[in-house]
Structure 1
Amino acid sequence: MSHTVADVNTVVERLWPLAGAEPWDAPGFLSGDPAATVDSVHLAVDAVVEVADEAVAAGADLLVVHHPLLLRGVTSVAEDRYKGAVLARLIRGGCALIAAHTNADVVETGTSAALAERLGLVDPRPIVPSDVPGRGIGRQGRLMEPTTLGRLARLLGEILPATASGIRVSGDYDSPVATIALCGGAGDSLLREPAVLAADVYITSDLRHHPASEFRENARLVGGPALIDVSHWASEWLWLETAAEQLAAALPGLAVTVSDVRTDPWDFTIVQ
């Protein structure tokens, strides 16, 4: 069965409605011919040059990414600039570009939900619910069997693809963990949410020094969760498999592949 870019975009917007995106976000159909035929779709977290080259080399007609390439305004798409180079390579290669970002975070099978599922959380619920039941930002839940902070961190190391930054933990290795709050991608905006404060540990990415330090100092004084900081790219990469299965199910005959390119920006770490 033949599909067009417009057909796929319709499914993307049904699976991950644009109405669920944050006001500052810029997901959606970013480049390409809506009428072009699509036989193959490639999925990735980031539209970087290596991913664009990979998609074109694989013969993909459409690249679906999590992070919008044009999230912030640009005044040039010249090819000596990263965003211009990506767009030029995709356009020359006949590969359209669509992004599903915060609109894919909040759905029942979104980025945080994918991580919660891999951890085996029981009764996962959004940290911040939306107006649509079951949808919202982040996830909270309990483990089927309690563990320790150290064992949980090691489990994350097995679940998530390897990155130079690894798994960073603030808390005692042997402290018990039964309840978890998590947010795929950058989640320090949720540090004060009641569901986060009530958990034994909060897992997210891109935790900055001052918010993390203040959070843990308060926890030492009055009680509160440990922190686990993981790679932003790795925490969201897990969702691509779910997204690929959903697209393939909705569009019979469409070939859907997932990129293994590590678009985490860090290459190595010196452990002191």
Structure 2
Amino acid sequence: MPALSEVIAALEALWPPAQAEEWDAVGTVCGDPDAPVGRVLFAVDPVREVADEALRLGADLLVTHHPLYLRGTTSVAATTFKGRVVHSLIRGSVALHVAHTNADRADPGVSDALAGALGLRVTGPLVPDPSDPAGRRGLGRLCELDEPETLAEFTERAAAGLPATAQGIRVAGDPGRTVRTVAVCGGSGDSLFEDVRRAGADAYLTADLRHHPASEAREHALHSGAGPALLDAAHWATEWPWTEQAAAQLDEVSDRHGWGLRTHVSRTVTDPWTARAASSEPATDTPGAPN
């Protein structure tokens, strides 16, 4: 079996830490570089439920997309839920490695996996990485459908292709409008609206769309007669396809080196929203209420 240091070197070749955003916290959180690795679990979130899954599985390494300590810490005491995760993993001899925005920018990256889950053909990055002469790395992806669909049909495609969550998929746009080109961004993507508009995409699928940017994008489309329909899926759901893609990438490395690694993908739904209740009646204007 390979040592943890060898597996980490392979992961960092797939998702170089230098390609992460400056504010990000990627890399190895805990683990003995000399410890042998035979089983690896991939997941989106390093939460207690996933750590427990890694322990039950007998994994030697847990790879997550989201950092455990994004903003840093001065303590890993088990008096906090994050500290308890660290203690549980160390006691169980499970290393933790994070690939976040470096996996977002990679080729293939998080948005490639999202496009693949929807059956879309990727034509290039939405925001190209200027350091990539091949023009393949970057944030988000521009995609095409093999055949045009209505927005309603594309919404059903997205709902069928992504794992189910309490949120489902929210849509802004005429259900009957034609969709040929799609921009996608795994995770929070409302900062990329201008890039989507410049690309001329018919629809934009991402997560965590805030009210004001989404409202402004919708009003811009109504005013100008151009602009994308919006599809807002759960953050976890848009990034989970990457875990399958990442496991397959490590499988290829393992086969090439004869490591014999066994990779697994967590299907534990770690989206924080667990239920939804629809309003019984549509909202009505109330005198004096804020608009």
TM-score by length of 1: 0.97
Q: What is the match of residue 225 of structure 1?
A: 228
Aligned mates of 1:47, 1:119 — CA distance in 2: 25
Is the counterpart of residue 254 in structure 1 residue 261 in structure 2?
yes
Q: Is the 2:110–2:186 contact (alpha carbons within 8 Å) kept by the matching residues of 1?
A: yes
- The question of whether the paired residues in 2 share the 8 Å contact of 1:196 and 1:225 is answered with no
What is the DSSP-based 3-state SS (H/G/I as helix, E as strand, rest coil) of the residue aligned with 2:107? Answer: coil
Uncovered stretches (5+) of structure 1, i.e. residues with no partner? none
Contact 2:112–2:141 (Cα < 8 Å) also in 1: yes
Q: For residues 99 and 85 of structure 2, what CA distance do their matches in structure 1 show?
A: 17
Please state whether the residue corresponding to 1:243 is helix, strand or coil: helix
Moved beyond 6 Å, runs of 4+: none
- Cα offset, 1:80, TM superposition: 2.6
Larger radius of gyration: 2
**Once superposed, what is the RMSD of the aligned Cα atoms?**
1.2
Retained in 2: the 8 A contact 1:196–1:202? no
Residue identity opposite 1:210 in structure 2: H
1:229 and 1:208 mapped to 2: Cα distance? 10
- Number of aligned positions between the proteins: 271
Task: Sort the Cα spacing of 1:178 and 1:83 in 2 relative to 1 into closer, same or farther, 3 A.
Answer: same
Question: 1:193 Cα deviation (Å)?
Answer: 1.2
User: What is the CA distance between 1:194 and its match in structure 2?
Assistant: 5.1
Asked if 2 retains the 8 angstrom alpha-carbon contact of 1:190 and 1:196, the reply is no
Hey, what does 1:91 align to over in structure 2?
90
Aligned counterpart for 1:171 among listed residues 146, 170, 173: 173
Specify which of 244, 250, 255 is matched with residue 247 of structure 2. Answer: 244
User: Which deviations, in whole Å up to 9, do the C-alpha atoms of 1:210-238 show, x marking residues without a partner?
Assistant: 11111111111002111000011011100
Specify the code of the residue in structure 2 equivalent to 1:4. A
* Cα pair 2:111 2:141 within 8 Å, conserved: yes
Q: Which residue does the alignment assign to 1:193?
A: 195
Q: Secondary structure at the match of 2:183?
A: strand
Cα deviation, residue 46, structure 1: 0.5
Rounded to whole Å, the distance in 1 between the matches of 2:207 and 2:178 is 22
Counterpart in the other structure of 1:80 = 79
Cα distance between partner residues in 1 of 2:120 and 2:264: 27
Per-residue deviation, residues 56-82 of structure 1 (Å, max 9, x unmatched): 111000100001111112233222312
State the distance in 2 between where 1:214 and 1:158 align.
28
Aligned-partner residue type, residue 120 of structure 2: L
Contact 1:140 1:195 in 2 (8 A): no
Please list every run of 5 or more consecutive structure 2 residues that lacks an aligned counterpart in the other structure.
280-291
* Alignment match of 1:152 (pick from 148, 151, 154): 154
Letter in 2 for 1:232: H
Residues 49 and 194 (structure 1), Cα distance of their counterparts in 2 relative to 1, 3 Å cut: closer
Map 1:128-143 to 2 at 5 A.
128-130=127-129, 131-132=131-132, 133=134, 134-143=136-145
TM-aligned CA deviation for residue 195 of structure 1:
5.3
After TM superposition, the score normalised by the length of structure 2 is 0.90
**Where does residue 64 of structure 1 map in the other structure?**
63
Work out whether residues 127 and 195 of structure 1, in 8 Å CA contact, stay in contact via their aligned partners in 2: no
CA distance in 2, matches of 1:77, 1:206: 29
| Distance across 1 between alignment mates of 2:234 and 2:79 | 28
Deviation at 1:196, TM superposition (A): 5.6
User: Closer, same or farther in 2 for the Cα pair 1:167/1:111, shift >3 Å?
Assistant: same
Q: Quote the offset at 1:18 in angstroms.
A: 1.2
Note the alpha carbon deviations across 1:122-157, whole angstroms, 9 max, x for none.
Answer: 342101101212111000121110001111111111
Report the equivalent of 1:211. 213
- Matched to 1:120, the amino acid is G
Code of the aligned partner of 2:138: G
Within a 5 Å distance, the mapping from 1:13-24 to structure 2 comes to 13-24=12-23
Counterpart secondary structure, 2:194? coil
Q: Percent identity?
A: 52
